[in-house]
Amino acid sequence: MNDHRSLGRELGIFDTDPLIGSGLPYWLPAGAAVRKAVEDYVHELERRNGYQHVNSPVLGKRELYERSGHWAHYAEDMFPPMSVGGEEFVLRPSLCPHHAIVYRSRQRSHRDLPLRLAELGGMYRSEQSGVLGGLSRVRAIQLNDGHVFCPPERAAAEVSAALDLIGQAHARLGVGAVRHRLSLRGEGGKYVDDPAMWARSESVLREALDERGQDYDEEPGEGAFYGPKIDIQITDPAGRESTLSTVQVDFYQPARFDLTYVSPEGPRRPVMVHRSVVGGLERLVAHLIEVHAGAFPAWLAPVQAVVLPLSDAELPAAARVLSRCLAAGLRAELAPADRSSLGARIRAHRLVPYQLVVGPREAASGGAAVRLRDGGQAGDVPVERLAAEARPFP
């Protein structure tokens, strides 16, 4: 069974230290490379689908979260306020209040909508120590977040478009969702008490799911405090289920922040569609480690190519091949002959998609014999072609 907590450390993806604290893993070079590949892919995928990217602070004044409703409905999951200069600041538990502020920073017209904003940003949850584990449950989360501000009549279409985007990303990453869940409100004070608003939000989500013919399960008590959501569920090798991607319909925060746009009929209130294509990068990478058992697709692999000189005599030629790999955009490294035999070096780099062997003949021609991860031989393939094959968008 591939457990990311042990395999991730073995592969140099991440580690933890009690001096930093529980639920606060740090990324090692291999993990940082995987994370950057995911970031770049999702950023470009969003750009191609009409999103504009923003950046916002990880802190906000307490009043921001009182306005958004987090303080009243979500405070137990937030870190306590910090007093600075007579004001109280809070590590944000989500990005949506900041994006509401971005929206209202300019006057918006119906011609500007839908406005699709996206950000990869940090958020912080005060998780209890007993539920923390590896990368899958942490206190500091890098969230792939986004918010679509649109007219109410377009909300269902934007939900469906977000689900399309999620499906496209999951297919590219090798993620297999086990089910879609319609997460509804439950009992108690956690949820905003506005039955009409909840019914309206649920209607939009059901419309989008039904039009797609998407099967889903309903689960009361799993909704966000401000509205229902569609959760895309995954499982780990032990069968434990968790949420990776979400789409939510929110009529609450647009009203709390008095968001409007100018229409021919006069001022109107937009709907705020929250969506996360791949969720938190920590949980995503934990899942990818387990799904691929460390043998990541070429575009996602921490090291995409390793150059293997047959002997010290081929080292200068191998170094030139390495330079061409790096110039072509490949994440590549050199494994010199003085480390061990060729067979031992191949085994040590068995998870690398492309193994470039440089013997006397290849040194003379300036090329390399490409060996694939599955043991297949590709011959003398130009590194530029390998780099093209290893791009997230071929």
Q: What is the DSSP string of 318-382?
A: HHHHHHHHHHTT--EEE--TTSS-HHHHHHHTTT-SEEEEE-HHHHHHT--EEEETTS-EEES--
Q: What is the pLDDT of residue 190?
A: 85
Find the length of the chain. 394
In angstroms, the CA 379 to CA 246 distance is: 44
> Coil, helix or strand for 276?
strand
Q: What is the pLDDT of residue 130?
A: 77
Give 10-residue mean pLDDT values along the chain (394 residues): 89 95 96 97 98 97 96 92 94 97 97 97 90 90 97 97 97 94 89 94 97 96 95 90 96 97 96 97 96 95 96 95 96 92 93 96 93 87 92 88
In angstroms, the CA 303 to CA 349 distance is: 9
171 CB-contact burial (10 Å; exposed 0-12 / middle 13-18 / buried 19+):
exposed
333 CB-contact burial (10 Å; exposed 0-12 / middle 13-18 / buried 19+):
middle
* pTM, entire model: 0.94
User: In this structure, what is the dihedral angle of CA atoms 49, 52, 53, 54, given to the nearest 10 degrees?
Assistant: -150
Task: Tell how strand 217-220 and strand 179-184 pair up.
Answer: parallel
Question: For the chain, which domains are there?
Answer: 4-292 (3.30.930.10), 305-390 (3.40.50.800)
Q: Return left, alpha or beta for 368; rule: phi > 0 is left, psi -120 to 50 is alpha, else beta.
A: beta
Residue 259: count other Cβ atoms within 10 Å of its Cβ: 19
In angstroms, the CA 155 to CA 213 distance is: 17
Those residues with Cβ within 8 angstroms of residue 114's Cβ, 6 or more apart along the chain or in another chain: 50, 148, 149, 150, 151, 154, 158
Q: Which of 57, 61, 122 is nearest to 90 (CA)?
A: 61
In angstroms, the CA 165 to CA 47 distance is: 11
Q: What is the pLDDT of residue 394?
A: 75
User: In this structure, what is the dihedral angle of CA atoms 94, 96, 98, 100, given to the nearest 10 degrees?
Assistant: -160
Residue 51: count other Cβ atoms within 10 Å of its Cβ: 22
> Coil, helix or strand for 204?
helix
β-pair partners for 140: 124
Residue 149: count other Cβ atoms within 10 Å of its Cβ: 24
Going 190 to 193 to 194 to 198, the CA torsion angle's sign is positive
| Residues 271, 364 contacting (CB under 8 angstroms) | no
Structure tokens at 77: 């999951």
Alpha helices in 213-307 (DSSP H): 252-256, 281-292
| Residues 95, 280 contacting (CB under 8 angstroms) | no
In angstroms, the CA 330 to CA 391 distance is: 9
In angstroms, the CA 70 to CA 53 distance is: 24
